[in-house]
Structure 1
Amino acid sequence: MCSIGDDDFEEHGDAMIPQKPLESIIDEQLCKRCNQEMCVLKLSHKKDPECKNCFLTYVRHKFKAALGSTKMVKRDSTVLLVADNRPESVVMLDMIKYCLEQNIHQRLHVRIVGVLFINENFLRDGNEESELDFIRDIITRFDYLSMPMYYTDIGSSSDAVNILEMDHSQPINESSQLSVKKKLSCLESLTSQQEFIHNLRITTMKTTAKQLNAQYVFTPDISLDLAKTLLTNISLGRGASVGLDVAFCDNRHEPTFRIIRPMRDLTTEEVHHYLNLNNLTAGINQKFGEDKAPGMSIQNLTGQFVNDLQTKFCGTVSTVFKTGERLTGKTKDQKEVCRVCKSSLDYENSETLFAIEYSRLVSEYANQHNSDPEFIEEKAREAVIGNENSIRQKLCHSCRNMPIESIHIILRNQ
């Protein structure tokens, strides 16, 4: 029989004593921050576990500090909240309700004009009954907020409807839904479809913000979402605007509204604990196309990569999205913006884009008679700058890579 290490067990009888699970260790500790309550959780990026009250104080302060330190949102401004039934949305709405109920010195001094729920279920072949169930679920889940709640289909040109004033026995109006589905079917790749839906979502937010006279639109993007956005947009060739894509304030849609991301500093772990400690429930509401295989689109593939980072190296995700703040392009001198995504036009005098087009044309004309270097150089510069009457002259590099059918569809919906 093997006798390796027998001496160790004789000399150290505690060598094989099973260790207590982390949960039991936490439950037996007094919170070191307040020295009053027993600990209930330990965050991965913190050394010591915390009690419920200390954790809630910490995470709410983190939320309020993001709004207060930047001073972007002016006192008594009108705010539209964009939400769904995902955990991040549930936490954002509950935190805002908490901030509005504080005393005069700690209160969030804004006027909430409504909570907007954008219906995208019909894009996943949802039936009429499931959409009505979704509306009823919204009422049940968020009625305690005592805020006006609005509902609209993505891409709809009609005004958003107050959910509490809807006749839920009536069938859903399918005209706008069929129109969006038809346009979506014209796009071949899932990457183009997801990009189209993203732009359509922004357009829907803009329409409702104008309807309700909202100066700011709050979105529930957390650090994980913004890390995905950053890497996705770089992969799509939109590196010049990634600073605004992940910034606390996105002012590209002025003067209509500004997009504010008050949840950007929160992690998935903090959102999870906040839900549990406040007995809040959330649903699973994936964005369009996220249920498809990772390899079917750039967005899905990048999302899987960031999810793997979150699982194996949780501290890396916040580093990724915070790096995006330092990647802001020189937008102050740019007068023109892309017709589709509102990013600054970045093609003029760009040697990088010229090199890309030149390389592509060399491959294209390799086996043809008109492969003269001067001819290819002229064609490459023309491709970068675009013809005077061409729509390409009004698009950034990323949007130029989208199929022309996608461009026309998006512009018609703006």
Structure 2
Amino acid sequence: MCSIGEDDFGDEGAAHAMVAESLPTGILISLGDCSKCGVASNELYKLNFRVAECHDCFLIHCRHKFRAALGAAKVLPRNADVLLSLDGSAESLVLLDMLHFAQTQNTFRRLHCNARVVYIDDQSVHGGESINLHALQALSKRYEPLEFYVTEFGASPCSLQRLEEYSPAAKEPHTKLNKLRSLTARQDYQQQQLKHLLASVAQRLCCSHVFESRISGDLASQLLTAIALGRGGSAALDVALLDDRLAAGVKLLRPLRDLNEQEVRFYLHARQLKPLRQSGSSYGQERGPTASLQNLTYAFVHNLQQNYPATVSTVFRTGDKIIANAHEELDSCAHCQSPLDAKLSDTLLAIEYSRAVSEAGVGLSENGDDSERLAKQRLAVKDGLCHACRCIQLELGSDLLT
């Protein structure tokens, strides 16, 4: 049997019967027996570190990861109202298909929750064309009876509309995004604003939980990015299954966190799904890997996934071992809702110390006590923002972040 990555299948491998690049690497169109159930199949799926499986066994494997993530941790109450965030990416379509399948099973195996779907049109930020309503309506018909809603990034939650009633409005420029000088700050701000919008939509639809479609590679990139941006104090929540920092007690869940990129590609083929947009096409990534910290980290993790897939899982799992500082007396950041880190980090004190010495000149720099006192005064300023959000605020200038 052929293995992953072999280009020369030989005369017996049915290579000449396949169209070039018509199938993801690892999906074999050839007669053979499934190594799991033993049934003869003409479509075998060969994942890394796993035996070749037939179509049904592969779907069982992926769907089990979805159910196990929610069941093992018991984070989703019975009959909870769930909002699924759909952005048209491959990962979000996989999550939509898995959730619909879990809700259409018999009573014993059914996932007991009330799900709604929201598509957030962020093309005004990307500068591209608006959403493909025909493709979205086709998804809505395929996944009945799930209710589909549409809103726009940066819009008020009151603008939320049902898909069948949606009419695109004139796009207005996002002034705060445009005022931020660096792409790193803009991407960080856009990510936090997206969470605020999801929480607002969940409140409007009376949903207590939000499903996010990030997979292991995305979370590995998010973990490294959070540390690079100075969000190390809350990095564990950025990659955890459950993130409870959203407003009004809305909880963010990541049930696809155990899936990898290869499984997503194979699942799309198995279920004949076509993404509405390409993976990795989020805001700012079209400007290249060196344009921002987020882009550089994504490119690094993506390259790591291609060459050393097991290492990406190790990076992602490291986030589960980070224990957040449990200080109930600490306030939360007014923007990202993470614990304020000024009193917990010696690194932040060192940064402010360097700024105090640099700005005060030679006179003050000769007196270390004065510089340290000035640094502590700056950290004690009650602006209600964590270090990373304060960096965004500095770029905005007089405009308020929240």
**Which residue number corresponds to residue 163 of structure 1?**
163
1:271 is the counterpart of 2:275: no
**Match of residue 148 from structure 1:** 147
1:45/1:315 contact within 8 Å kept: no
Say which one has the larger Rg.
Answer: 1
Q: Hey, what's the Cα distance between the residues in 1 that align with 2:108 and 2:348?
A: 52
Residues 407 and 31 of structure 1, relative CA distance in 2, 3 Å threshold: farther
Letter paired with 1:400: R
Q: Which residue of 1 aligns with 2:47?
A: 43
Query: 1-side partners of 2:139 and 2:282: how far apart?
Result: 20
Aligned counterparts of 2:148 and 2:290: Cα–Cα separation in 1? 37
Q: Distance in 1 between matches of 2:197 and 2:258?
A: 26
Counterpart pick for 1:330 among 315, 325, 329? 325
Match of 1:173 in 2: 169
Matched, 1:230 2:223: yes
Shift of 1:382: 1.4
Kindly state the Cα deviation for residue 44 of structure 1 after the two structures are TM-superposed: 1.0
- The answer to whether the aligner puts 1:185 opposite 2:178 as a matched pair is yes
The answer to whether 1:197 aligns with 2:190 is yes
The question of whether the paired residues in 2 share the 8 Å contact of 1:340 and 1:410 is answered with no
Aligned residue pairs, count = 377
* Cross-structure match for 1:85: 88
What is the CA-CA distance between 1:154 and the residue it aligns to? Answer: 0.7
In structure 2, C-alpha distance between the alignment counterparts of 1:163 and 1:313, rounded to whole Å: 41
Secondary structure of 1:287's aligned partner: coil
Residue number in structure 1 paired with 2:201: 208
The CA RMSD measured in Å over matched residues stands at: 2.3
**Equivalents in 1 of 2:311, 2:83: separation in Å?**
31
Q: CA deviation at 1:160?
A: 0.9
Partner residue, 1:104 = 107
Please tell me the residue identity of whatever aligns with 1:382: Q
- Amino acid of the structure 1 residue aligned with 2:138: T
Q: State the shift of 1:252 in Å.
A: 1.2
1:214-260, CA deviations, whole angstroms, 9 ceiling, x for partnerless residues? 00000111111111111101000100101110000101125431001
1:31 maps onto 2:24 in alignment: no
2:352/2:378 contact within 8 Å kept: yes
Please report how far the alpha carbon of residue 182 of structure 1 lies from its aligned counterpart in structure 2 after TM superposition. Answer: 2.0
Q: Match of 2:292?
A: 297
1:135 aligns with 2:133: yes
Q: Give the whole-Å Cα distance in 2 for the aligned partners of 1:211 and 1:325.
A: 31
Residue 196 of structure 1: how far off its partner (Å): 1.5
Q: What is the CA distance between 1:363 and its match in structure 2?
A: 4.0
CA shift for structure 1 position 115: 0.6
- Could you tell me whether the CA contact under 8 Å between 2:357 and 2:365 is conserved in 1? no
Mapped to 2, the partners of 1:208 and 1:244 lie a distance apart of 21
Q: CA deviation digits over 1:271-292, x for unaligned, max 9?
A: 1111101111113252111111
2: CA distance, partners of 1:88 / 1:242: 22
Residues 225 and 297 in structure 2, CA contact (< 8 A), matched pair in contact too: yes
- Aligned residue for 1:403, secondary structure, equals helix
Q: Which moved more, 1:403-412 or 1:225-234?
A: 403-412
8 Å CA contact 1:159–1:207 kept in 2: the answer is no
**1:355-409 alpha-carbon deviations (Å, 9 max, x no partner):** 23223433444545664222111111112222xxx41xx1112222223354876
| Residue equivalent to 2:24 | none
Which residue does the alignment assign to 1:5? none
Q: Which residue of 1 aligns with 2:23?
A: none
Q: Which residue of 1 aligns with 2:117?
A: 115
Equivalent position amino acid for 1:380 in 2: A
- For the residue of structure 1 that corresponds to 2:125, the secondary structure is helix
Partner of 2:283: 288
Contact 1:79 1:214 in 2 (8 A): yes
TM-score, L = length of structure 2: 0.87
Identical amino acids, percent of aligned pairs: 34
Contact persistence 2:214–2:257 (CA under 8 A): yes
1:53 and 2:83 are equivalent in the alignment = no
Quick one: structure 1 residues 301 and 343, their matched pair in 2 at CA, closer, same or farther if it must change by over 3 Å? same
* Post-superposition CA distance 1:138-158 (Å, at most 9, x none): 112342111111111112113
Q: Distance in 1 between matches of 2:289 and 2:47?
A: 29
Contact 1:210 1:256 (C-alpha < 8 Å) held by counterparts: no
- 1:329-371: CA deviations, max 9, x gaps? 1235344111111111121153232223223433444545664
Determine if contact 2:216/2:313 at 8 Å carries over to the other structure: yes
Deviations 1:115-151 (A, max 9, x none): 111111012223xxx32x5223211234211111111
Q: Does 1:354 align with 2:349?
A: yes
Q: Partner letter of residue 42 of structure 1?
A: K
In structure 1, the residue matched to 2:4 is none
Q: Aligned match of 2:372 in 368, 374, 377?
A: 377
Q: Quote the Cα distance in structure 2 between the aligned partners of 1:76 and 1:410.
A: 39
Quote the Cα distance in structure 2 between the aligned partners of 1:242 and 1:327.
8
Q: What is the distance in 2 between the residues matched to 1:21 and 1:240?
A: 57
> The residue matched to 2:326 in structure 1 has which SS?
coil
Deviation at 1:314, TM superposition (A): 0.9
**Aligned partners of 1:331 and 1:344 also within 8 Å:** no
User: Would the aligned equivalents of 1:196 and 1:406 in 2 still touch at CA under 8 Å?
Assistant: no
SS of corresponding position for 1:296: coil
SS at match of 1:155: coil
Query: C-alpha displacement at 1:59, in angstroms?
Result: 0.8
Stretches of structure 2 lacking an aligned partner (at least 5 in a row): 1-7, 16-27
In the alignment, is the contact (CA less than 8 A) between 1:240 and 1:327 conserved in 2?
Answer: no
Q: 1:71 corresponds to which residue?
A: 74
Q: Secondary structure at the match of 2:88?
A: coil
State the alpha-carbon separation in 2 of the partners of residues 29 and 276 from structure 1.
Answer: 19
Deviates more, 1:225-234 or 1:357-366: 357-366
Uncovered stretches (5+) of structure 1, i.e. residues with no partner: 1-17
